[in-house]
Structure 1
Amino acid sequence: MVVLIVEPLDPEVMQWLVARHAVRYAPDLARDPRGLRHALRNVQALIIPPTVALDADALARAPLLKAVGRLSAGAENIDFEACARAGVEVVRPSDATAQSEAEFMIGALLQMLRRVPVVNAEGLLVGRELGSSTVGLIGMGPAAQPLSQLLQAFGTRVVGYDPALHANDPLWARWLVEPAGLRELMEQSDGVCVMLNYYTRYQGLLGERYLAFCKANQVLVSLASTSLFDETTLAEVLGSGRMAAAWFDSLEPGLLAPGRLLHQIDTLQVTPRVASTTRESRVRAAWDVARRIDTLLTPSDVATPH
Structure 2
Amino acid sequence: MPDIVISEFMDEPAVARLKDRFSTLYDPGLAEAPSRLKNEIAEARALIVRNRTQVSADLLSGADGLECVGRLGVGLDNIDMAACERRGIAVYPARGANDLSVAEYVVTAALMLLRGAYLASDRVTAGDWPRQALMAGREASGKVIGLIGFGGIARAAASRARALGMEVVASDPHVPASDRAWAEARKVELETLLAEADVVSLHLPLTETTRHLIDGAAIARMKAGAVVINAARGGVVDEEALVDALRQGRLGGAALDVFETEPLTAEAGGRFAGLSNVILTPHIAGLSVEANERVSGVTADSVIRHLEGGK
SS at match of 2:21: coil
Match of 1:253 in 2: 261
Q: Per the alignment, do residues 252 and 259 of structure 1 end up closer, same or farther by CA in structure 2, a change over 3 Å counting? A: closer
Worse overlay, 156-165 or 76-85: 76-85
Aligned amino acid, residue 22 of structure 1: S
Equivalents in 1 of 2:29, 2:215: separation in Å? 41
SS at match of 1:132: coil
Residues matched between the structures, number? 295
Deviations along 1:240-294, one digit per CA (max 9) or x if unpaired, are 2111111111211188876999454614432111100000000100111111112
SS at match of 1:201: coil
Match of 2:169 in 1: 159
Match of 1:228 in 2: 236
| Structure 1 contact 3–45 (Cα < 8 Å) conserved | yes
Match of 2:153 in 1: 143
Deviations along 1:151-207, one digit per CA (max 9) or x if unpaired, are 11111111111121234433202xx11111111111111111111222212223223
Worse overlay, 206-215 or 247-256: 247-256
Match of 2:210 in 1: 202
Shift of 1:86: 2.4
Q: What is the RMSD of the two structures over their aligned residues, measured on CA atoms? A: 2.8
Match of 2:10 in 1: 9
| Structure 1 contact 238–265 (Cα < 8 Å) conserved | no
Please report the TM-score for the alignment, with normalisation by the length of structure 1: 0.86
| Structure 1 contact 116–244 (Cα < 8 Å) conserved | no
Alignment partner of 1:243 is 2:244: no
Alignment partner of 1:36 is 2:37: yes
Aligned amino acid, residue 221 of structure 2: F
Please report the TM-score for the alignment, with normalisation by the length of structure 2: 0.84
Match of 2:124 in 1: none
SS at match of 2:114: helix
Q: Unpaired runs of 5+ in structure 1?
A: 302-306
| Structure 1 contact 136–191 (Cα < 8 Å) conserved | yes
Equivalents in 1 of 2:134, 2:269: separation in Å? 34
Alignment partner of 1:52 is 2:53: yes
Deviations along 1:59-112, one digit per CA (max 9) or x if unpaired, are 001111121222145344333332233222232211000000011111111111
SS at match of 1:131: coil
| Structure 2 contact 147–202 (Cα < 8 Å) conserved | yes
Aligned amino acid, residue 66 of structure 2: L
SS at match of 1:108: helix
SS at match of 2:204: coil
Worse overlay, 15-24 or 151-160: 15-24
Match of 2:125 in 1: none
Match of 2:302 in 1: 292
Q: Unpaired runs of 5+ in structure 2?
A: 119-131
How do residues 33-112 of structure 1 correspond to structure 2 at under 5 angstroms?
33-112=34-113
SS at match of 1:200: coil
* Alignment equivalent of 1:277, drawn from 276, 282, 287: 287
Aligned amino acid, residue 296 of structure 2: A
SS at match of 2:259: coil
SS at match of 2:9: coil
Aligned amino acid, residue 242 of structure 1: R
Runs of 4+ in 1 over 6 A off after TM superposition: 254-257
